[in-house]
């Protein structure tokens, strides 16, 4: 008797019911015994999140005894609170059976992803810092460029232009340049994201939510960088604006 996982069932008996099927390890001349499939269980990533799921077989302990066993207990509350009771039950069956490495599933998963979590935390911190510096830089540069057009704004006001028209003109021109920069940045991000695919599990390298959020932040920063100084320049007296250096 043997139990197989879903990956093995799909690989060797796709579209069929694997229950009752027989197989053996090795080639046709192998002396290995024939195994009859009696059940199918879900896939487990026992070798890590980034490793592909392999076809696996499970045998009753009486047929394939191993040097150690793993006991999994599902609880409704804190799992570690039942560690003493579980140890007592095992000793009640076999007093010489050692019970060790007791841990919750959260602790087990945390240990498995510790290195990956550290790498992603460090990378995320650096990315956040880069984003903050980028937002400050965009705001500073565009604010300076708009401020340099104060005399132009004053001249347009003196010729009868409405303040709202000037603000929209400056914002539209600034956002046009920003759109080109953001588009180039998105293409670069999509290209570089392929290099990070090995650090991700269950998530594609082109995360739409992240790209949309970063794009919106950059667009908002550029919009404010153009609107605030343009609004301030449109409110000044035309004579003062024309005299400014």
Where do runs of H (alpha helix) occur along the chain?
6-12, 83-93, 105-112, 114-147, 150-158, 163-193, 208-235, 238-243
Q: How far is CA 24 from CA 2, 9, 19, in A?
A: 11, 14, 15
pLDDT band for position 223 (cuts 50, 70, 90): confident
Report pLDDT for 227.
83
pTM of the predicted model, to two decimals? Answer: 0.56
Q: What angle do CA 44, 50, 55 make, to 5 degrees?
A: 40
Contact indicator for 55, 11 with CB cutoff of 8 Å:
yes
Helix, strand, or coil (residue 1): coil
More confident residue, 149 or 89: 89
Q: Is the pLDDT of residue 50 over 70?
A: no
What per-residue confidence (pLDDT) applies to 9?
92
pLDDT at 8 (0 to 100)? 92
For residue 164, is pLDDT > 90? no
Confidence label for 204 from pLDDT (cuts 50, 70 and 90): low
Q: How far is CA 139 from the centre of its chain?
A: 28
**Is residue 40 over pLDDT 90?**
yes
Query: Is 60 exceeded by the pLDDT of residue 65?
Result: yes
Give me the pLDDT at residue 48, please: 66
Per-residue pLDDT of 93-134, as tens digits, reads: 888 888 888 888 888 888 877 887 888 889 889 988 987 887
pLDDT at site 38: 92
């Amino acid at each position: 008797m043997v139990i197989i996982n879903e990956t093995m069932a799909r690989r060797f008996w796709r579209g069929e019911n694997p229950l009752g099927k027989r197989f053996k390890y090795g080639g046709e001349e192998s002396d290995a015994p024939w195994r009859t499939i009696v059940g199918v269980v879900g896939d487990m990533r026992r070798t890590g999140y980034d490793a592909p799921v392999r076809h696996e077989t499970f045998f009753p302990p009486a047929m394939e005894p191993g040097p150690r066993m793993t006991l999994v207990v599902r609880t409704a509350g804190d799992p570690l609170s039942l560690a003493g009771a579980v140890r007592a039950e095992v000793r009640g069956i076999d007093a010489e059976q050692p019970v060790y490495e007791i841990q919750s599933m959260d602790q087990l998963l945390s240990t498995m992803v510790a290195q990956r979590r550290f790498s992603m935390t460090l990378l995320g911190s650096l990315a956040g810092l880069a984003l903050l510096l980028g937002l400050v830089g965009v705001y500073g540069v565009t604010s300076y460029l708009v401020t340099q057009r104060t005399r132009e704004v004053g001249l347009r006001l003196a010729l009868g232009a409405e303040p709202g028209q000037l603000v929209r003109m400056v914002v539209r021109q600034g956002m046009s340049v920003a759109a080109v920069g953001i588009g180039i940045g998105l293409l670069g991000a999509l290209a570089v994201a392929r290099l990070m695919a090995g650090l991700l599990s269950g998530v594609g390298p082109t995360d739409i939510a992240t790209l949309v959020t970063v794009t919106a932040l950059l667009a908002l920063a550029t919009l404010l960088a153009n609107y605030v100084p343009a609004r301030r320049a449109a409110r000044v007296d035309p004579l003062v604006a024309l005299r400014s250096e």
